[in-house]
């Protein structure tokens, strides 16, 4: 398979995730859009690593990104839970405690 196909699929995935992050305002959907974008980046890293098959740098990077994404999901969901306990909503527009 040519490299370009993977890059285009990853770019489209990234744009879908970015669009979701910019347009939606449900905090859970925002976190899931971040996961989609991280997955798109991982795909490009692995594809470029396949092109330079002499070492595993891209795959090691992807490994660490997956670990960090898991930590990010745990902390982000905990924050969503705490926010929901405070305001009983998950709309991102209601997160305005620091505005005034």
Partner 1 sequence: MNMLELAFFGLCALIALLGAIATVAAKNPIRGAMGLLSTIVGIAGLYLTLAAEFLATIQLLVYAGAVVILFLFVIMLLGPSAVSKREARGPWARYVGAGALLLSSLAMLALIVRAGPATPTAFAKAPAKFGTIESIGHELFTNALIPFELSGALLLVAVVGAVAVARGKQIDPTLLPAADPKGKEAQS
Q: What is the DSSP secondary structure assignment for residue 91, as one 8-state letter?
A: B
Residues 59-98 that bind partner 1 (CB under 8 A): 59-60, 62-64, 66-75, 77-82, 84-91, 93-94, 97
CB 39 within 8 A of CB 13: yes
Minimum Å gap between C-beta 25 and partner 1 is 6
CB 10 within 8 A of CB 44: yes
Residues 20-49 that bind partner 1 (CB under 8 A): 20, 22-26, 28-29, 31-33, 35-36, 39, 42-43, 46-47, 49
Determine the size of the site formed for partner 1 (CB under 8 A). Answer: 74
Minimum Å gap between C-beta 93 and partner 1 is 8
Selection from 17, 30, 16 nearest residue 95 by Cα? 30
Q: How far is CA 27 from the centre of its chain?
A: 13
């Amino acid at each position: 398979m040519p490299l370009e196909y993977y890059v285009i699929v990853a770019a489209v995935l990234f744009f879908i995730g970015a669009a979701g992050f910019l347009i939606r305002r449900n905090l859970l959907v925002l976190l899931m859009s971040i996961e989609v974008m991280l997955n798109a980046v991982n795909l490009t890293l692995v594809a470029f690593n396949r092109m330079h098959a002499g070492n595993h740098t891209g795959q090691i990077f992807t490994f660490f990104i997956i670990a960090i994404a898991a930590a990010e999901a745990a902390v982000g969901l905990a924050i969503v839970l705490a926010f929901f306990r405070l305001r009983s909503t998950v709309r991102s527009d209601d997160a305005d405690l620091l505005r005034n």
